Structure 1
Amino acid sequence: MADVDVSLKELMTGVEGALGAAVVDYTSGLALGVLGGGKDLDLEVAAAGNTDVVRAQMRTLEHLGLASQIEDILITLDRHYHVIRLVNGRSGNGLFLYLVMDKARSNLAMARHQLKRVEENLAV
């Protein structure tokens, strides 16, 4: 089991092209931890904004009557990938991992694999 800080370090060092990562509580919109980012990438603001994305997607699934769980949500921009991975483990109810990557330097499939591994080992 890995705590929030260790999990964020694993994402930033284990994903080629990682620019920033966060663990976010989508019930409150608060980031429990952030690593990376910068003046052009405010992870606190992104965490709050992506909370709305997660909530909207969950409402949509509920309205459609789908019993499926969200694994991840991908947002593709011209220079970045933004991946939201819901934490479905025993201690992660209400949390998601958020990873921002440089589109030109990252491998999306490998990043999703790393996010899944980190999600499975996250202990809050």
Structure 2
Amino acid sequence: MNVETALKEATTVIDGAIGAALVDYGSGMALGTVGGGKELDLGVAAAGNTDVVRAKVRTMEMLGLKDEIEDILITLGGQYHLIRLMKGRGSSGFFLYLALDRGRANLAMARHQLKKIEAELEI
């Protein structure tokens, strides 16, 4: 599935989704966004979360951890922000970003569905 289809699926299939983006964490640029709006600027979120991913990758290297990051969860009072690093062939260096309304989202299901969308996404 292409980027636009994957992001639309993320925001329609996943309960509580506010917005989604596919981000190149080399540049910090969003390659695609769906949702967001005045409450959530996905361009700013993409750039800011790139710093989060880079910091975590650097920290793992400094600690000598030979493991892969599956996802990073940021919990706010009213939202979950889920960052899923992509692993597929040709997709390293990218992450899926999903913002969820904490009151309507099922975090376990959102993680499961985002993993499924990642597996079907072709960049």
For Structure 1 versus Structure 2, the TM-score category normalised by the shorter chain is over 0.9
Identical aligned residues as a percent: 63
Query: In the alignment, is the contact (CA less than 8 A) between 1:73 and 1:83 conserved in 2?
Result: yes
- CA RMSD of superposed structures (Å): 0.5
Number of aligned residue pairs = 123
- How far apart are residue 35 of structure 1 and its match? 0.2
Alignment partners' CA distance in 2, 1:7 and 1:90: 17
Query: Is residue 52 of structure 1 aligned with residue 51 of structure 2?
Result: yes
**1:111 equivalent in structure 2:** 110
Q: CA deviation at 1:108?
A: 0.1
Q: What secondary structure does 2:113 align onto?
A: helix
2:4 aligned partner, one-letter code = D
Asked if the contact 1:17/1:102 (under 8 Å) is kept, the reply is yes
Letter of the aligned partner of 2:48 in structure 1? G
Q: Aligned equivalents of 2:90 and 2:4: distance in 1? A: 15
Runs of 4+ in structure 1 over 4 Å off: none
What amino acid does structure 2 have at the position aligned with 1:25? D
Q: Where does residue 100 of structure 1 map in the other structure? A: 99
Normalised by the length of structure 1, the TM-score is 0.98
Match of 1:32 in 2: 31
User: 1:32-87: CA deviations, max 9, x gaps?
Assistant: 00000011200000000000000000000000000000000000000000000000
- Given that 1:92 and 1:122 are in contact with CA atoms closer than 8 Å, whether structure 2 keeps it comes out as no
Q: Partner of 1:7 in structure 2? A: 6
SS at match of 2:81: strand
Q: C-alpha displacement at 1:103, in angstroms?
A: 0.1
3-state SS of 1:66 partner: coil
